[in-house]
Amino acid sequence: MARYAILILPAFNRVYGESAVRLTRSELAVFNGTALGGKAGDIAETMIGGVPYVTFEASELDASDIAFLSNLSSMYALFAMEGELLRPLAVHPLDKFASDLITIQKYAGKTNEHFTRLLLNITALSTDRPSGLLDRKLSVLDPMCGRGTTLNQALMYGYDATGIDLDGKDFDAYATFLRTWLKNRRLKHSAEITPIRRDRTQLGRRLHVTLGRTKELYKAGRVDQVTMINADTLRSRELLKAHSFDLLVTDAPYGVQHGSRGAGSALSRSPLQLLQAAIPLWRDLLRPGGAMGISWNTYVARRDELAKIMEASGLDVLDSADYRAFEHRVDQAITRDILIARVPA
């Protein structure tokens, strides 16, 4: 058995950085149970030269294994351990665009980009076909997308992304950011904002962007697509086709700066009322075998309460020990966790 070491990418957010090693261990455990076929063992935190690494044992890693591991959300480098020496292994992350697509936006309440990547990874690995993380152009929906961190991460992986958000300022901010970024990067694209109308009533606005990674790909029609809808997520079934997404990934309102509303309800610190109304609608948007990943603040909703809502909506909740190891502190008012469920195939 060989032993390997993962050096953790430094986190801009100090509090998240304190949890990064433990979260990487948990993320690696899910990778191991899905994409790696269980070949990794003895996953641990190890101090090497005074620096914390995540280490594990495995039979020789092949190219496919390394391709999966290259996308761990907080990986900085991967090494084979040879006695007291570390031999670097070449990694090949999925990233299709420059990293500033993810990092350039700075605003209060932004979800940490490392965590967004982790949530997207775990959700993609939890479909009925985990290899899709690498070999499919997945279709991703974030039905409460804010200013588009999830959309940008999906785009970075080469997936098609759709988001919904009720806040018109967030919609405008994301439209401005993405169009400016595309122009500055000189990527061939089209971007259009159109009203969404039903029965002469305007339900919202839609930003639709198509872009090519190169001019040649754009000319050939081989494009990536991003759509953001400024509307109520409780109208998502009116706005989007059923069974049209592989993944649904979202960060629920934390109930601190932002509360949530169910249909016609008063503002509530708990997201459960909103999620109880929304999850059945969202489930219908996922394809059979697709997966839903939701993160939330455990101070305002219990894990078992959210799991019951998912199960009542016909979803299979993934609740093994590997999936129960992602709880971590964000600040004094927020402790965040993840719950993953799959649509029966």
74-78, 144-148, 260-264: range with lowest mean pLDDT = 260-264
152-156, 270-274, 324-328, 335-339: range with lowest mean pLDDT = 270-274
Query: What is the pLDDT at residue 54?
Result: 97
Query: What is the pLDDT at residue 198?
Result: 86
Domains, the chain, ordered by start: 2-89 (3.30.70), 100-342 (3.40.50.150)
- Strand, coil or helix: 63: helix
- Strand, coil or helix: 156: helix
Contact 55, 3 (CB under 8 A): yes
Q: Quote the DSSP letter at residue 128.
A: S
Query: pLDDT (tens digit, 9 = 90+) per residue, 99-138?
Result: 999 999 887 778 889 999 999 999 999 999 999 999 999 9
66-75, 250-259, 286-295: range with lowest mean pLDDT = 250-259
Q: Quote the DSSP letter at residue 234.
A: G
Instruction: Tell me the average pLDDT of the chain.
Output: 93
Give 44 or 267, the one with higher predicted confidence.
44
C-alpha 314/C-alpha 236 separation (Å) is: 18
pLDDT at 177 over 70: yes
Overall average pLDDT of the 292-309 stretch: 96
pLDDT at 256 over 60: no
Query: What is the pLDDT at residue 307?
Result: 98
Query: pLDDT (tens digit, 9 = 90+) per residue, 269-297?
Result: 688 999 999 999 999 999 999 999 999 99
Residue with tokens 């299979």: 316
Overall average pLDDT of the 241-257 stretch: 88
Question: Quick one: pLDDT band at residue 265, thresholds 50, 70, 90?
Answer: very low
Pairing of strands 201-211, 189-198: antiparallel
Q: Which of 334, 163, 314, 333 is nearest to 247 (CA)?
A: 163
Query: What is the pLDDT at residue 258?
Result: 42
Query: What is the pLDDT at residue 12?
Result: 61
Whether the full predicted model's pTM is greater than 0.85, yes or no, is yes
Query: What is the pLDDT at residue 259?
Result: 43
Cα dist from 146 to 90, 151, 251, 285, whole Å:
35, 10, 9, 19
As to burial, measured by CB atoms within 10 angstroms (0-12 exposed, 13-18 middle, 19+ buried), residue 173 is middle
**φ/ψ of residue 282, rounded to 5:** -65, -40
**φ/ψ of residue 16, rounded to 5:** -65, -40
pLDDT at 172 over 90: yes
Query: pLDDT (tens digit, 9 = 90+) per residue, 190-208?
Result: 999 999 998 888 899 999 9
Contact 294, 284 (CB under 8 A): no
pLDDT at 57 over 80: yes
Q: Which of 337, 41, 95 is nearest to 224 (CA)?
A: 95
CA torsion sign for 68, 72, 76, 80 is negative
Question: Quick one: pLDDT band at residue 18, thresholds 50, 70, 90?
Answer: confident
Long-range CB contacts (< 8 A, 24+ apart) of 276-282? 276/309, 277/234, 278/143, 278/233, 278/234, 278/236, 279/309, 279/310, 279/313, 279/315, 280/313, 281/233, 281/234, 281/236, 281/237, 282/141, 282/143, 282/233, 282/236, 282/248
Overall average pLDDT of the 223-248 stretch: 97
Query: What is the pLDDT at residue 266?
Result: 45
Q: Which of 27, 132, 136 is nearest to 73 (CA)?
A: 27
